[in-house]
A and B are shown apart, each in its own frame.
Chain A
Amino acid sequence: MRHPAQRWIAGLLVGCATFLALSSPSFAVRPDELLSDPALEARAQEISRGIRCVVCQTESIDESDADIAHDLRVLVREQLKAGATDDQVRAFLVARYGDFILLKPPFEARTFLIWTGPFLLLIGAGAGIFLFYRKTQRREAAPLTAAEEARLQRFMAPPDDNTTQTNATQTNATQGNATHSKGGDRS
């Protein structure tokens, strides 16, 4: 027997799937705009997707229902029909509306930072982190002083059941600590 929540979730999923299947992506291009030549129409749509709608500003003219977007789509298609290349069509629009009409800004000296900024920041931050950690690591790897070395040797020595030895270790350990704190001052 299935849990009621399970059934509820299954119902929700079926509902969502039905909704997605029935809804088509918003398609602003009106049927009468379409060119009869499919290759030309494909080019027109490709260009339109990169052209900003000048009133909605965040949409491309291919997606926008605005009247002026329709006008620009028709304009793009007319130019293509007249034999213009994709770049010529874009240049035609840029000459009238500026680079702003391109959803992707062109790569030039003025827009250099827009394109490369994030990567420059990443490289700069990466280099900073690398240098910072390399410095701290080098400090940790400073060689032991002679006293520290001697103390380490004593600890590493095989265990010995001799009480006097233990005492001696303790005394030495105190000395070693003193030496160590001296070394700490230096860094």
Chain B
Amino acid sequence: MRRLIFVLPLIVLAALVGIFVLGLNPNRDPRAIDSPLIGKQVAVFTAPAFATDQPGIADSDLLSGAYKGQVVAINFFASWCVPCRAEHPLLRKLSAETGMPVLGLAWKDKKQALQGFLDELGNPYARIGTDDTGRIGIVDFGITGVPETFIIDKQGIIRERIGGPLSDDLIETHLLPLIKELQK
């Protein structure tokens, strides 16, 4: 009993050190927010088309339309968003390596600026829908900003959310295996 008084602080210290070491894990981002939408059916939404020769994007496209039974990515982006520029080439790589269509949702963007952005960097998107008010992003996908990428499975269920720009490392180690698994 007496010895416990001396041992107890050491046990507490060891526990605290353990918690701190876990907190120092470089792969842990304390700012990352887990989306409660993961595992849920994609919300009902309709994003008007950006191009005149292409339709917009709606949830019905994933559930019963052109992308029925396919794994797709929805990428929220904007021409004014600097990290979006950085991840732009990776979107093409992502769709090229998996065959998965990447659908773009231009968040709070202007048509002209968006056209300039695509002319400059190329268009990796299978389709582009517009979310001028930002409401589709906020209300239907709970995004905190752009870029954000959602992976939606064959049944139209949101499987992953990447809040922030994609990186080579993230694609190689996480997204490619996940998408291949979902495509099976």
By a beta-carbon cutoff of 8 Å, the part of chain A in contact with chain B is 54-55, 57, 67-68, 71-72, 75, 94-98, 100, 132
Contacts and interface: CB of A to CB of B under 8 A. Distances in A.
Contact of B138 (A55, A57, A71): A71
Given A71-B138, A75-B139, A94 B145 contact: no
A68 B139 CA distance: 12
The 9 closest A-B pairs by CB, nearest first: A96-B142, A54-B144, A98-B36, A100-B33, A97-B142, A71-B138, A55-B144, A71-B134, A55-B145
A68 B137 CA distance: 11
Nearest to B35: A98
Contacts of B31: 57
A110 B66 CA distance: 41
A1 B40 CA distance: 78
B144 A68 contact: yes
Interface of B: 5, 31, 33-37, 108, 134-135, 138-139, 141-142, 144-145
A103 to B, nearest CB: 14
A95 B36 contact: yes
Contacts, number: 37
A97 B144 CA distance: 9
B145 A97 contact: no
A168 to B, nearest CB: 41
B150 to A, nearest CB: 13
Contacts of B145: 54-55, 68
A100 B35 CA distance: 9
A138 to B, nearest CB: 14
Nearest to B138: A71
Given A54-B33, A54-B144, A71-B134, A96 B139 contact: yes
Nearest to B5: A132
A97 B36 CA distance: 6
6 contacts: A57-B31, A68-B144, A96-B141, A97-B33, A97-B35, A98-B36
Nearest to A72: B138
| Of A67, A94, A97, most B-chain CB atoms within 10 Å | A97
A98 B33 contact: yes
A96 B36 contact: yes
B5 to A, nearest CB: 7
A113 to B, nearest CB: 13
Contacts of B138: 68, 71-72, 75, 96
A54 B33 CA distance: 9
A104 B97 CA distance: 43
B122 to A, nearest CB: 27
A94 B37 CA distance: 10
Contacts of A132: 5
A19 B39 CA distance: 52
Nearest to A70: B134
Candidate in A55, A71, A96 with the most chain B CB atoms within 10 angstroms: A96
A150 to B, nearest CB: 33
Contacts of B142: 96-97
A102 B149 CA distance: 24
Contacts of B35: 97-98
A55 B138 CA distance: 13
Contacts of B134: 68, 71
Contacts of A97: 33, 35-36, 142, 144
